[in-house]
Structure 1
Amino acid sequence: MSVVKKQPVSIVKLKNMKENKDPITMVTAYDYPTAALVEQAGVDTILVGDSLGNVVLGYDSTLPVTIDDMVYHTRAARRGAPNTFIVADMPFMTYHSTVAETLNDVRRLMQEGHANAVKMEGGAEITLMVDACVKAGVPVLGHIGLTPQSVHQLGGYRIQGKTKEDADRLLQDALALERAGAFAIVLELVTDQVAAYISERLSIPTIGIGAGAGCDGQVLVFHDIVRFSPDYREKRFVKTYADIGTTIREGIQSYVQDVKTRAFPAEVNSFRAEDNVVEHLYGPGKVEVR
């Protein structure tokens, strides 16, 4: 399959895609090679998510991820995908203090990380910060439903929108984020019917993950799409398109076996000196050590 070259999207184009019923594609990327591959594949948008805490840094949640981590990984992703719209996550507790502190961390993601936009988890309770960022000229992607930064408050990774009260709360949160100026909203682990209804009610795009086909776009974690993990766990809302984890492990096992049996490096993998160098090292008449 050839490399796909596309013009980078903007928040205006994303809204037009919703209106034209052109599904938006988003994939996470946390480093240079991953972002480069994602851009070459023709993905509309890249999310440098704080999920890097789980899949790259080895934490058991997103909570330990810092603003320094996000700046570092966003900058690396930008080098790999210079022509893709990149959204960077605001990590845990970086937008729950003062507006000044929030804007400073946003500034770092934009100036140092070279992000095009930031993402914040939460509903009506974060609209003050969303509004402040938008007024400062920063596009904000909202995120409701399962919000991993609030996993302890939610009581675990639970499906959202299973009751009438929950559905109403999600809708009100989505509308509040839209009024505050968010350019789109991620709906995570929300029941299909509720996610579809919210998508119909909003004028801005919704991007689903485990939220059914009624959203205006979809996002998946790179490591889930290609099953790149030493201890991969099946997820109902994920479709695996490649299994590079197994391929990588088997490749490295073959390398270890070749080294142990001295099959690698072979002569084709080595470089030979001139004959007089061998004679200089070993002396006249000495047999070259191979």
Structure 2
Amino acid sequence: MSMKLARWRDRLTQQEDLNFLLTNRVPRLAATRFMGWYSRIDSPWLTRVSVAVWRLFTDLDLSEAAPPPRGYRSLRDVFTRRLQPGRRPLDPAAHAVVSPCDAIVGAFGPVTRGMALQAKGMDYRIAELFGDATRAAPYLDGTYLTLRLTSAMYHRFHAPADLRIQRVTHIAGDTWNVNPIALKRVERLFCRNVRAAIECTLPDGTPIALVPVAAILVASLRLHALDLTLRPDHPGPHRFDVGHDHARGEEMGWFEQGSTIIVFLPPGVALREDLRTGQRIRMGEAIARLAGGLACADGDE
């Protein structure tokens, strides 16, 4: 991409009012259904054209990807691409909880009075996010970390530790954009959008949860544990008792494009001290320590 085009793109994306208008004040669910259909069209030519347009607005880099044997035949193939082996080494520390995905760090810190931070000055009740106060209870005095995937990132996510998925609850909702501009303007945005509460336990019974949140154009979530793609119009059931084990770093599933994963940790599991809002982090990097680890820092800068 030329420097001139990159500057034009950056000016466009930094116009907050225009960005919010174009990505939110549209028929969000209809646009999301259309993108779901479009991304599955089997056409290598259309895929090449679509990727070229995509690159006008993002820094899409496919150099780390392991292309499918027949090449990219649809946008979905690009969205859900795998990486070449060894591209995401895991933190070697035995007690490290690792990032489940490539992401940009959003809000993080302690859950206070049942509330987590969405953006500065905007918080939400985690009971509403989970859809049930009982499911949120293990994290009321714990910590949380919001991980935002951009559309250009690797979209698969992995187990942050050795764990067992106990239950998955699919919660219907809207498809607001989840970029920082929308997070500053739409109250309780994460609680409004389609999402899935993935409740897990570590081998010693310690609870840990991941809550993938959908967004406009990306409201489908695939979980290997269910062998099922959860879409906004999924007819049910919406609660699944699973009992599926994953080793740390093992692939758990993928988004059909990019969105957000919120990680919840119970009391006693500390986030690493050097996390910063806006920091880029890769799958496999440590985000917390299970024992004798790092002190928790508040992400409200």
Decide which structure has greater strand share.
2
Smaller-chain TM-score range? under 0.3
- Output the TM-score relative to the length of structure 2: 0.25
Return the index of the structure with the highest Cα Rg.
1
